[in-house]
A and B are shown apart, each in its own frame.
Chain A
Amino acid sequence: MGDLDRFRRCQEHLALWLRSSLTGCHFATSFSSTKPLKLDYCTPISEAIDLAAIAGFIDGTATNEVVAVVLFPSVRTPADLAHTLVTLSGDPRWQLGEEIWLAPWPLSSGLTDEWGALLDALEKVRSFRRQELVGGEPAMVDDLIRDVARIVRHRLGAA
């Protein structure tokens, strides 16, 4: 299969994935159901990523009011991904930072492990995202941590 065919296949996969609701993102699902689907793609071909071309592409899509997608079909391994991200961060419009990954749905089956995961997620919210909480939310998170910790202790004691 030629490279251009492979790029086209990547585009089709992305459009299908967005439309499938598997992303868990309502915006992506809603937006991807519009017809025609207005996604513009940019795919680096050379070994060295052309940062200026990618920046120009993003600006061009903004002018045309189209969603920009930059595809990297050659990325295969975590090392490839890390290399790509580091390269992109050479442009001021890209930024690399360490983020705490918050579990979106830590509680689904109600098993003890999941209550523990929920407790962990809440504690991470309190530790790393407290500045984003508003109004009565900090107190609400504190209350939830106390209550979920009690449930975990009770379940562990009952096991």
Chain B
Amino acid sequence: MTERQHSETATASVARDEFLRDPASVLRRAETEGPIIIRDSNGNPTAMVSAPRDEPPSVG
């Protein structure tokens, strides 16, 4: 398994149809669960959404 495949496997997923039905609730999920990959009907990733609320590292 490549690094990319491992990373995608470890990340939560949601079906594209489910995301399009209620994107707001998926985004609220992403706040607590981390990045969520949107997958089409064949299981292929089309996009990733994330809602990080932690502080980014400071400059320098």
Chain A residues in the interface with B (C-beta under 8 A): 2-5, 7-8, 11-12, 15-16, 19-20, 35-46, 48, 50, 52-54, 56-57, 59-61, 63-64, 66
Contacts and interface: CB of A to CB of B under 8 A. Distances in A.
| The 7 residue pairs across chains A and B that have the minimum distance between CB atoms | A60-B23, A63-B24, A2-B7, A15-B56, A36-B53, A56-B23, A50-B46
B45 A46 contact: yes
Interface in B1-53: 3-4, 6-8, 11, 16, 19-20, 22-24, 26-28, 30, 35, 37-38, 44-53
Contact of B56 (A7, A37, A38, A61): A37
A35 B57 CA distance: 13
A41 B20 CA distance: 16
B48 A7 contact: yes
A20 B59 contact: yes
A21 to B, nearest CB: 11
Interface of A is mostly: helix
B3 A2 contact: yes
A7 B23 CA distance: 20
Q: Give the interface residue-count category, chain B.
A: 35 or more
B27 A7 contact: no
Contacts of B24: 59-61, 63-64
B44 to A, nearest CB: 7
A16 B46 contact: no
A61 B27 contact: yes
Nearest to A52: B20
